[in-house]
Amino acid sequence: VLIAVVLSTTGVLIGMLVMDQTFSIIMTGTGIVALAEIVVNNNIVLIDTYQEFIRYMPRIEAIVRTAEQRLRPVMLTTITTMAGLMPMMLGLNIDFMNGGYTLDSPTSMWWKPLATAVVFGLGVSTVLTLVLTPALLAARIWIESGLAAIVPGLRALLGGQARADRALNRRSGRVRHAEIIWDPTAAPLTEEPATAEPAPPAAATPSRPRPHAAE
């Protein structure tokens, strides 16, 4: 998470070069703080989702599923934030009363460094969140597996998770192509199934005495 926050500042520097701006301690610094909040939130939610998935599937597959599930929320957050700050970054003012617009007005020049830092930094941090963070998680797993295979002392410490991954992989392979068939006529699972009433016992018939043979 901290690596993603630090590397996201490269997007801020790229934005300053593209927009030909100087580094403002107040506004650019405020933009970096706002950017760090978004980056930390996205990465924490991604890692929390990964921690939930590894309870039911192998770690490598959990990383792939996590990236797939977090792709849409992260992209929606990025697109809406960048679209909202784009007019501020361009210094666009729209006069709704009299019509028309102005660019680089004196009031908008004050907010341009902040918007530039967030827009360009968020674009870079999105790639870091969806690519770098899962890659670092996978690299950690491969390093642990390699150390467990090389160093005998670490085999007992790190081998348990590898065995758990293999067991989860076998179990998930059995139900990977499962098919659920819905029966609308079946009773809900919350209701107890109807049990057949036991049949009443048959009435006992009196036995007739057998005739004895004449002696």
Beta-carbon neighbour count of residue 78 at 10 Å?
A: 20
pLDDT at 175: 47
pLDDT at 110: 82
Residue-wise pLDDT for 178-195, tens only, equals 444 445 565 554 444 455
- Whole-angstrom distance, CA of residue 204 vs CA of residue 135: 79
Average pLDDT (65-92) is 89
The burial of 204, by beta-carbon neighbours within 10 Å (0-12 exposed, 13-18 middle, 19 or more buried), is given as exposed
pLDDT at 120: 93
Residue at token pair 């797993």: 141
| Secondary structure of residue 151 in the 3-state scheme | coil
Across the chain, the runs of DSSP E, i.e. the strands, are: 92-94, 101-103
Q: Of 110 and 124, which is predicted with more confidence?
A: 124
Average pLDDT (98-106) is 74
**Dihedral sign, CA of 180, 185, 188, 192?**
negative
Residue 3 near residue 47 (C-beta atoms within 8 A): no
Residue-wise pLDDT for 127-169, tens only, equals 888 888 899 888 888 887 776 667 655 555 555 555 555 555 5
Residue 137 near residue 128 (C-beta atoms within 8 A): no
Task: Report the mean per-residue pLDDT for the chain.
Answer: 76
| Secondary structure of residue 178 in the 3-state scheme | coil
Which domains does the chain show, CATH number per domain? Answer: 2-174 (1.20.1640.10)
- Whole-angstrom distance, CA of residue 41 vs CA of residue 43: 6
Residue 65 near residue 57 (C-beta atoms within 8 A): yes
H or E stretch covering 2 = helix 2-19
Beta bridge partners of 38: none
Residue 82 near residue 122 (C-beta atoms within 8 A): yes
Whether the model clears a pTM of 0.85, i.e. scores above it, the answer is: no
Does 37 have pLDDT greater than 60?
yes
In this structure, of 15-29, 43-57, 89-103, 116-130, the range with the lowest mean pLDDT score is 89-103
